[in-house]
């Protein structure tokens, strides 16, 4: 497992970088806390993060009524709130950023939703992380920061049959200008790594943990992957 001071590389990076990333990714709500490089990346990223969340929500909406969901890498809870509004019974969020988690818990309390929305600080790629069982696990833009060993730990920690994981399209490696820009962003921001998996590679990693029947649905620039998303028959067909 790739760890520094007993903390995973993704956790070490995101603990200090999340506030700036969120401010630039969800720029419509204010960019003040974004660093210069994140502000610049907003020019290229545009509203892709809003589109990604909306796309994921539309995919799972028919399946979440009355269900318990765990959102891994929940940041300040944006997606968790949306899933609750869309009919989930309870949404728990996990993130490494204590600031983001306490913001999310404060907001849930202000809205008197603290019984349905619960956020906790955990490093998801530490072995035996005590995760609550869930009908569905979601993670938007999280697993691409996990090298293979960490990915295995992540999957071994999940107590669910179904997940929806959203991660960047492996094919973007071939989009030369975007790839170069991403490499510059990674180096300037001292991101330890971004790992893009093909479906075949990911399938091999996930199978020993019982996650089979993976479906990849490509929308916009992102892959959304799910091994059935609660009910395979009800899943929207791949475009
Ligand atoms: C790119 S952000 C995506 C945030 C959110 N899912 C969204 O789409 O707005 C990645 C998130 O994963 C969290 N994260 C990364 N590595 C983590 C780890 N090892 N344990 C817990 N959270 C982690 C980060 O703190 C951050 O909130």
CA dihedral 78, 80, 82, 87 (to 10 degrees): -170
For the stretch 95-116, pLDDT in tens is 999 999 999 999 999 999 999 9
Q: Which neighbouring-strand residues pair with 225?
A: 165, 216
- Ligand 1 pocket, residues with Cβ under 6 angstroms: 8, 10-11, 14, 18, 21, 73, 75, 78-79, 94-97, 123-125, 140-142, 145
**Per-residue pLDDT at 229:** 44
| Atom number, ligand 1, closest to the C-alpha of residue 154 | 19
**DSSP 8-state symbol, 38:** H
Domain extent listing, the chain: 8-232
Q: Does domain 8-232 fall into CATH 3.40.50.150?
A: yes
CB atoms under 10 Å from CB of 68, counted, come to: 17
pTM: 0.89
**Residue minimizing CA distance to atom 9 of ligand 1:** 75
CB-based contact 119:69 (threshold 8 Å)? no
Ligand 1: atom nearest CA of 52 is 8
For 17-64, the pLDDT digits (tens) are 899 999 999 988 887 888 888 888 888 788 889 988 998 898 889 889
Cα maximum dimension of the chain: 48
Q: Cα–Cα distance between 211 and 191 in angstroms, integer?
A: 28
The overall average pLDDT reported for the chain is: 84
Mean pLDDT of 208-231: 65
Handedness of CA 109, 115, 116, 120 (dihedral sign): positive
């Amino acid at each position: 497992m790739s760890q520094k001071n007993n903390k995973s590389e993704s956790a070490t990076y995101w603990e200090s970088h999340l506030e700036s990333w969120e401010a630039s990714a969800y720029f419509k709500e204010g960019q003040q806390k974004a660093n210069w490089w994140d502000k610049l990346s907003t020019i290229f990223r545009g509203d892709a993060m809003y589109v990604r969340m909306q796309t994921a929500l539309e995919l799972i909406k028919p399946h979440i009524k009355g269900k318990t969901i765990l959102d891994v890498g929940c940041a300040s809870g944006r997606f968790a709130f949306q899933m609750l509004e869309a009919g989930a019974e309870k949404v728990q969020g996990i993130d490494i950023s204590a600031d983001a988690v306490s913001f999310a818990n404060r907001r849930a309390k202000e809205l008197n939703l603290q019984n349905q929305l619960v956020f906790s600080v955990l490093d998801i790629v530490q072995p035996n992380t005590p995760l609550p069982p869930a009908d569905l696990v979601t993670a938007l833009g999280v697993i691409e920061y996990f090298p293979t060993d960490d990915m295995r730990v992540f999957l071994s920690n999940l107590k669910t049959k179904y997940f929806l994981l959203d991660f960047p399209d492996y094919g973007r490696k071939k989009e030369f200008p975007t790839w170069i820009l991403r490499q510059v962003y990674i180096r300037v921001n001292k991101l330890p790594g971004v790992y893009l998996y093909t479906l075949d590679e990911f399938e091999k990693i996930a199978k020993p943990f019982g996650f089979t029947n993976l479906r990849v649905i490509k929308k916009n620039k992102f892959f959304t992957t799910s091994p059935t998303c609660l009910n395979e028959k009800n899943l929207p067909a791949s475009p």
